Amino acid sequence: MASWLHIPTDSDFSLQNLPYGIFSTQNQPDHHIGIAIGDYVLDLNILAQENVFDDLGFDASTLEKSTLNVYASLGRSVHRLVRNRVQEILEKDTDLGALLKDNQDRRSRCLIKQGDIQLHLPFQIGDYTDFFCGLHHALNGAEIVKPGSSVEQLCPCFYNLPVAYHGRASSVVVSGTPFRRPRGQFPVDGKVHSGPTRRLDFEVEFAAFIANGNDLGTSISVDQAEDHIFGFVLLNDWSARDIQMYEAPIMGPFGGKNFCTTISPWVVTPEALNSHKTATMLAKRELPEYLREVKDSAFNLCIQVDLDCNSGSYTVAKCNTNHVIFSFSQMIAHHTRVGCPLRTGDLLGTGTLSGATDEELGCLLEITKGGKKPREWTSESGKLERLWLEDGDTIEFTARASDGIGFGSCSGKILPAI
């Protein structure tokens, strides 16, 4: 699918992609809804004000808001109409040249270089649920936490339902936001110590934003759940392992997780990822009826992890979004099974997406065997050894498919504890 606008061959943002984000500029500090296309952002706020979408039969003023929440709540049918209109406007042989291509004044105002913008959180996030659906992460984690134990011994329901904990929405930040090394309690040499974590880690995850939810006391069926998803982002579930292990045995994660969660800024729609669907792992196992799917609804996308520090840049892992035993549709069906209401802008994470090989491990907990075996990486910059993350380290996730479907960067830099 070609465009009249130049799109570099290595761009995350092809005409097939068209992800949504929230941006501002130095001259326009108000937050606008935009779509990434090549090296540019298309300002949907201005297009809506100038009546470009008026014939589509929806409230186009929702595209003039400062977050995606109101627009997302209109539902997938509206999102498809807007996506199709934007593709028609940008395609090489467009019949709608008067709307943008041949309108120099509008082009100058609506197409902004990505280098000139500041990106923000795409949604006002009300709730954040992080699942534990990665098969290899669970297998490796069980061996690290209690050697010789099976996943079922530590988590008897792991294969039967999508296990999760309730994260902290207030500490979800957009890519590029630095954060302080967290403080907490953890044992050192048999005594409880209070201070900065000594075991700071990353976790490679994929996440979905909810478009429209359900009422209290109702549920969403697994067959309808996909229609409740607005789009997807990369997610780094930063983790303080010493704090987490000390506090979590009874009630689950708290301070070891809630200090920061980073997401990529561009929300990729389900339509853009249709050709990347695949089955979940162990898909043929017996499940309760409300979790049984008749179609593939996981995704096959490689996520690369790079660590940048003073000595250079190093690729530390290559994971895949298909390393899950439950899909987002199954997560939604189970989340709402008890009558829990999901709401527009809620964020759902997969859990760590480790694979079967050492190169596919999605966190340092697994890479270093619980902090017992340092890992060394080599790049043009030289060699780097790590047990855990250090102050000044930047972790970046990227993912881009061959058809120009990408998410931009999901990165965060660690600052010293206060």
Q: Among all residues, which ones are annotated catalytic?
A: 137
Was 308 annotated as part of a binding site? no
Was 352 annotated as part of a binding site? yes
Distance CA 238, CA 369 (A): 18
Q: Give the CA count within 13 Å in the CB-facing half-sphere of 161.
A: 16
Tokens of 123: 């949604």
Was 202 annotated as part of a binding site? no
Was 257 annotated as part of a binding site? yes
Within 10 angstroms of residue 416's Cβ, the number of other Cβ atoms is: 10
Torsion of CA 318, 322, 323, 325, to 10 degrees: 170
Distance CA 18, CA 28 (A): 22
Distance CA 109, CA 25 (A): 12
3-class DSSP assignment, residue 170: helix
Distance CA 95, CA 169 (A): 43
Was 368 annotated as part of a binding site? no
Within 10 angstroms of residue 353's Cβ, the number of other Cβ atoms is: 29
End-to-end CA distance of the chain: 50
φ and ψ at residue 175, rounded to 5 degrees: -50, 140
Was 124 annotated as part of a binding site? no
- 282 CB contacts (<8 Å, ≥6 apart)? 135, 159, 325
Q: What is the largest CA-CA distance in the chain?
A: 73
3-class DSSP assignment, residue 292: coil
Was 284 annotated as part of a binding site? no
Torsion of CA 368, 395, 402, 132, to 10 degrees: 60
209 sits in the region (left: phi over 0; alpha: psi -120 to 50; else beta) called beta
Return the closest-CA partner of residue 21 out of 152, 149, 180, 176. Answer: 176
Distance CA 278, CA 352 (A): 18
User: In which residue are the tokens 């069980």 written?
Assistant: 142
Return the closest-CA partner of residue 49 out of 31, 34, 32, 61. Answer: 61
Q: Which residues on adjacent β-strands are paired with residue 131? A: 164
Annotated binding site for substrate: 132, 244, 352
Annotated binding site: 130, 132, 203, 205, 237, 244, 257, 261, 352
Binding-site residues for Mg(2+), in ranges, read 237, 257, 261
